[in-house]
Amino acid sequence: MDDDRPPLGTWIREGLRAGLFLRPRVEGAEPGRVQLLVLLAALCAIDVGLSRFEVPGAATFDARGWLGPWWGVAAMALMLWLLLPRSGDARRTGGVAAWFALWFMAVLPSSLVAQALAIAEGRGWIAAASTETMFWIGWGSYFVLWCWTLAMAARLAWHFGLDRQRLALLTLGLVAIFGVNAWQFAERPWRGEEARAAEPETPRLVLNQETLEAQQSAWTRSVAALARERPGVTDVYGLVFAPFAPEDVFLRESTMVAKLLAERFDAGGRVLHLVNHATTAESLPWATPLNLKRAVEALAERMDRDNDLLVVYLTSHGASDYRLAASHWPLDIDPVSPGELREALDAAGIRHRVIAVSACFSGGWTGPLGGEHALVMTAADATHTSYGCGKLSELTFFGRAVFDEQLRKTHSFERAFAAAVPVIRQREEEAGKADGFSNPQISVGDRIRPYLAALEQRLDAAKPAVAARP
């Protein structure tokens, strides 16, 4: 009967006691539906209200940012339904309502501390985590709060009669929920108007007849514009390939490399730029495995395959199986493997090759693509990730250091790589790269080294070095 239930104030008081590791004195009681909804509404109001103070000035409520983490409550309810001991009438849901009535108030003390820290940081009352010391202080504080919440949950579960095995399962489940929320649902309920205004609208590829015809025209136009080789001149040709559309960094980087080859390596009119991006469907060919093969064939048909140089630059996310990620929804595009590129180059009969791969685990490309007539550079070894391929990155660390900086000072790929590696190491250390140094790799064939030295002399005599972009 509802008249026998403890009043709302009791659930508030005992929930706060549970948050301070004290035993809640509501043995066997269950809250009413209205009581549970009031407790939930109070927690939501406190969370939304206080988080507003994290953003100084005008702000906009972001319902998606607020609702995202609440999936964890559903996951917690499922765990409790499975783990809590059966009640006397064998109802498996027995105790779940009481748990949440106490939990909504028990998390309040740790939540208030966390929000106080967030408000202080958002308003600049404490230093932002820009230095290594403040980074560890900031994450250390939140780690302590997570431990507090986990310990409080374990203590509360113990009061509900969970044995050690079920208590361990519940704790592991809560660790998983907290971890996923911190990793995937870090958004807060309020966003500053300036940040919202600066946030670009994500372009989307519209796949219709007009787009398909425009893409065909872009391919035909790009191939037709390729200049033929010049007799008696060691020409440089370029193939730049960026197959991952969702992140703009690959479009920016591939564009930079294509321009650099044209300007610094006398490759104007001899570069094919293949990229997946919603904004380039009418101007540049798509970066697909089939187009990669066709591009190699088109370049081979125009160059002197025995005497000219082909520079191939690939930039994308990489996987531990060494394949490059490819994505351009709603197109279905397969990833690219090093074997596919090697097969295309061999079939085309292109002898002299410089291949650079900017991707995680890209060291796995050096073996399949190396050879006495090849120079292969990769942004990482076969067991490490590279860095700088996120949504906020201007360029990847590898592309920026090797191509956008060092190759503006020299025409030597080996010297540019050697000078860039310590720069990449320093930047990764400053950025706090979690899995250690990416360890970029280079493989230089015996017969391509003197060939590249002669090309370098020609280019040095033709053009002076150009400083890197500011």
Q: Which residues pair with 318 in a beta bridge?
A: 324
Q: Tell me the C-alpha distance between 267 and 463, whole Å.
A: 13
- Token readout for 22 is 């004290």
pLDDT at 365 over 90: yes
Whole-angstrom CA distances from 380 to 79, 170, 242, 362, 364 are 41, 39, 17, 6, 9
Q: What is the maximal distance between C-alpha atoms in the chain?
A: 99
Query: pLDDT, tens digit, for every residue of 277-305?
Result: 999 988 999 999 999 999 999 999 999 99
Pairwise pLDDT comparison (391 vs 247), residue with the higher score:
247
Please say if the pLDDT value at position 237 is more than 60.
yes
Which domains, from first to last, does the chain contain?
Answer: 2-198 (no CATH), 216-462 (3.40.50.1460)
pLDDT at 197: 46
Residue 317 has pLDDT above 60, yes or no: yes
User: Residue 155 — pLDDT band, cuts 50, 70, 90?
Assistant: confident
Q: Which of 410, 404, 423, 422 is nearest to 452 (CA)?
A: 410
C-beta of residue 23 within 8 angstroms of C-beta of residue 157: no
pLDDT digits (tens, 9 = 90+) for 138-153: 667 778 888 888 888 8
Q: What is the residue type of 263?
A: E
Mean pLDDT is lowest, of 62-66, 98-102, 243-247, 466-470, for 466-470
Q: Cβ(406)–Cβ(416) under 8 Å?
A: yes
> How do 374-378 and 441-444 pair as beta strands?
antiparallel
- Over residues 225-239, the mean pLDDT reads 94
- Is the bond preceding residue 338 a cis peptide, omega within 30 degrees? no
Q: Identify the three-state secondary structure at position 378.
A: strand
Residues 6 or more apart whose CB falls under 8 angstroms from that of 385 comprise 318, 360, 361, 433, 435, 438
The residue type found at 350 is I
Q: What is the dihedral of CA 107, 108, 109, 111, to 10 degrees?
A: 80
Global model pTM greater than 0.75: no
- For residues 98 and 26, the answer to whether their CB atoms sit within 8 Å is yes
pLDDT attached to residue 396 = 94
Asked whether the beta carbons of 442 and 376 are under 8 A apart, the reply is: yes
Give the contacts of 177 (CB within 8 A, at least 6 positions apart): 72, 75, 76
Which amino acid is located at 299 in the chain?
A: L
Q: Residue 183 and residue 190: Cα distance in Å, rounded?
A: 18
Give the C-alpha separation, 308 to 410, whole Å.
19
pLDDT digits (tens, 9 = 90+) for 411-448: 999 999 999 999 999 999 888 888 889 999 999 999 99
What percentage of the chain has pLDDT greater than the value 70? 89
Q: What is the pLDDT of residue 128?
A: 43
d(CA 439, CA 428) in angstroms, rounded, equals 10
Q: Are 41 and 100 in contact (CB under 8 A)?
A: no
DSSP 433: -
Tell me how far apart the alpha carbons of residues 147 and 175 are, in angstroms, rounded to a whole number: 9
CB 205 within 8 A of CB 329: yes
**Of residues 173 and 199, more confidently modeled:** 173
Between 85-89, 251-255, 390-394, the lowest mean confidence (pLDDT) is in 85-89
Q: Is the pLDDT of residue 468 over 70?
A: no
The rounded mean pLDDT for the chain is 86
Residue 135, pLDDT above cutoff 80: no
Averaged pLDDT, 221-231: 95
- How high is the pLDDT of residue 196? 47
Is residue 115 within 8 Å of residue 51, measured between CB atoms?
yes
Quick one: pLDDT band at residue 86, thresholds 50, 70, 90?
low
- Give the confidence band of 156 by pLDDT, cuts at 50, 70, 90: confident
- Tell me: pLDDT of 124 over 80: no
Q: Tell me what pLDDT residue 139 has.
A: 65
Say how many C-beta atoms besides its own lie within 10 A of residue 27's C-beta.
9
